[in-house]
Amino acid sequence: MNRVEVIGNATLYLGDCLDILPTLPKVDAVITDPPYGIAFAHGGNDRSGIGKGLYATKFAGEAIHGDDQPFDPAPLLALDVATILWGGNHFCSRLQDSPSWLVWDKRAASGHTNDFADCEIAWSNVKGVARVFRHHWDGMMRASERGERFHPTQKPVALMVWCMEKVPTAQVVLDPYMGSGTTGVAAALAGRSFIGIEREPKYFDIACRRIEEAQKQAALFPHEPPAKPVQMEIE
């Protein structure tokens, strides 16, 4: 059964986004990190073969729901709003051409490499050129949120705040694959209204808590957003 939580200017739904999307009011932007269709699992039987041994995490063997099937972005593209889809390189054959891809450089501080990807890539239909966000996020070596790992594919809050800056006029932001609520946390810090959908109860509960805490933080420190990252155009 679906569940709805209203936390300040955030409305959070527990359920399948494909069922809930048609019932939502109009939003201004979609920023999300959906399942990529690569059957990834940390230390599990994923196709990548990574996340084992030295790189094992507390999420070892935990699969991402829906990641065992090719991801179809059509329901999100049909909303016809500004959209940022992380992992777009994994399903780019189902996306329109775009000059404004976003790249997150995860090895910014060390420049080293390992079995995991050096960067993550998002497709977007926002106007502009391709951009790079440099923010180190490599196991225990992180530029932010040290020890704050709630979800196996969790993104940094700073990354999602950066994404918010790409849609400056969007007042209502939707994340239909909310996970542990990072996009909602970024929306709170950026002063945006947020709609989030998550089908896993344990992550939904974590998202509710994190977003509530972020809204309290934003109320206490409204003029102190995360520091802006260095940007670089890709020729």
Mean pLDDT of 12-28: 97
- Answer whether residue 59 shows pLDDT above 70: no
Mean pLDDT of 147-161: 81
Percent of the chain exceeding pLDDT 70 equals 71
- Domain extent listing, the chain: 3-220
Reported as a single tens digit per residue, the pLDDT across 178-191 is 999 999 999 999 99
Q: Is 1 exposed, middle or buried (0-12, 13-18, 19+ CB in 10 A)?
A: exposed
Residue 135 pLDDT: 84
In three-state form (DSSP H/G/I as H, E/B as E, the rest C), the secondary structure along the chain is: CCEEEEECCEEEEECCHHHHHHHCCCCCEEEECCCCCCCCECCCCCCCCCCCHHHCCCCCCCECCCCCCCCCCHHHHCCCCEEEEECHHHCHHHCCCCCCCEEEECCCCCCCCCCCCCEEEEEECCCCCCEEEECCEECCEECCCCCCCCCCCCCCHHHHHHHHHHCCCCCEEEECCCCCCHHHHHHHHHCCEEEEEECCHHHHHHHHHHHHHHHHHHHHCCCCCCCCCCCCECC
- Answer whether residue 111 shows pLDDT above 90: no
Name which of 82-96, 137-151, 174-188 the model is least confident about: 137-151
Asked if residues 51 and 63 have their Cβ atoms less than 8 Å apart, the reply is: no
Q: Which of 204, 193, 188 is nearest to 169 (CA)?
A: 193
Q: Which of residues 6 and 68 earns the better pLDDT score?
A: 6
Residue 113 pLDDT: 65
- Answer whether residue 196 shows pLDDT above 60: yes
Q: Which of residues 125 and 42 earns the better pLDDT score?
A: 125
- Answer whether residue 147 shows pLDDT above 50: yes
Mean pLDDT of 182-209: 96
Which residues make Cβ contacts (< 8 Å) with residue 38, sequence separation at least 6?
46, 47, 48, 67, 90
Confidence band, pLDDT 50/70/90 cuts, at residue 220: confident
Q: Which of residues 220 and 40 earns the better pLDDT score?
A: 220
Asked if residues 81 and 30 have their Cβ atoms less than 8 Å apart, the reply is: yes
Confidence band, pLDDT 50/70/90 cuts, at residue 173: very high
Q: Which of residues 138 and 122 earns the better pLDDT score?
A: 122
Mean per-residue pLDDT of the chain: 82
Largest separation between any pair of C-alpha atoms in the chain: 49
Question: Which fold, 3-220?
Answer: Rossmann fold (3.40.50)
